[in-house]
Structure 1
Amino acid sequence: MASVTFRDETAMGRELGAFSLPGLPERISARELVRLRVREAVARHNAAPSHHFRGLVKPGDAEIDLTVDPVVSFVKLVPLVGG
């Protein structure tokens, strides 16, 4: 089994927070890794709610009406050469 450390950073590389998840398989898909990261962040927030949420996805009951505009856009982040 493997362990992974998730670290949140600013664009300049300053660490905002980190946590580890032990007991993961030695190979895992990126989709599953993101799913675990979001699930763990929400669980940690729910266990000790605070006014400031630092996770990827803020828990809530918001819904999106896909009948109005069924287009969902994602921003692809591309690493810069040398940076």
Structure 2
Amino acid sequence: MGMVTFVDETTAGERLGSVGVSVTEERLPLRELIRRRVGQEAPGEGADAAYERALEAFGRNGFLVLVGERQITELDEVVRLAETTEVTFLKLVPLVGG
């Protein structure tokens, strides 16, 4: 069993918060990591809708996901989880008028 720490960060390097989640798996696809992250924020009935919105946002480059120092670009990419793994959700801000 390991611990995944989900970190929300802005492009300015500001960390908006983090939460640790225990995992039993050694590998998970990115989409499952997103599901678990969303589940921390929107538990219950709203979690499915929030998960779908998160997948859409990822698809349109609304945020990047870094596992350690490596960017994960595909939802089905399987991520190897160490005993402690940091997963950063880097929120991208669109350029105004650009």
User: What's the TM-score once normalised by structure 2's chain length?
Assistant: 0.44
Would you identify which runs of 4 or more consecutive aligned residues in structure 1 move more than 6 Å? none
Is the partner of 1:28 in helix, strand or coil? Answer: strand
Residue of structure 1 equivalent to 2:19: 19
Q: Higher RCO, 1 or 2 (CA under 8 Å, sep at least 6)?
A: 2
Q: Which runs of 5+ in 1 are unaligned?
A: 44-56, 58-71
In the alignment, the residues of structure 1 paired with residue 23 and residue 13 of structure 2 have an alpha-carbon distance, to the nearest angstrom, of 27
Residue of structure 2 equivalent to 1:37: 37
Deviation at 1:24, TM superposition (A): 3.4
Matches within 5 A, 1:44-63: 57=50
**Between structures 1 and 2, the one with greater helix share:** 2
Radius of gyration: which is bigger? 1
Deviation at 1:36, TM superposition (A): 0.8
**Between structures 1 and 2, the one with greater strand share:** 2
Root-mean-square deviation (CA), in Å? Answer: 3.1
Aligned residues: 54
Aligned sequence identity (%): 35
Deviation at 1:23, TM superposition (A): 2.8
Residue of structure 2 equivalent to 1:75: 60
Deviation at 1:40, TM superposition (A): 1.4
User: What's the TM-score once normalised by structure 1's chain length?
Assistant: 0.51
Q: Which runs of 5+ in 2 are unaligned?
A: 44-49, 51-55, 65-70, 72-98
In the alignment, the residues of structure 2 paired with residue 23 and residue 10 of structure 1 have an alpha-carbon distance, to the nearest angstrom, of 25
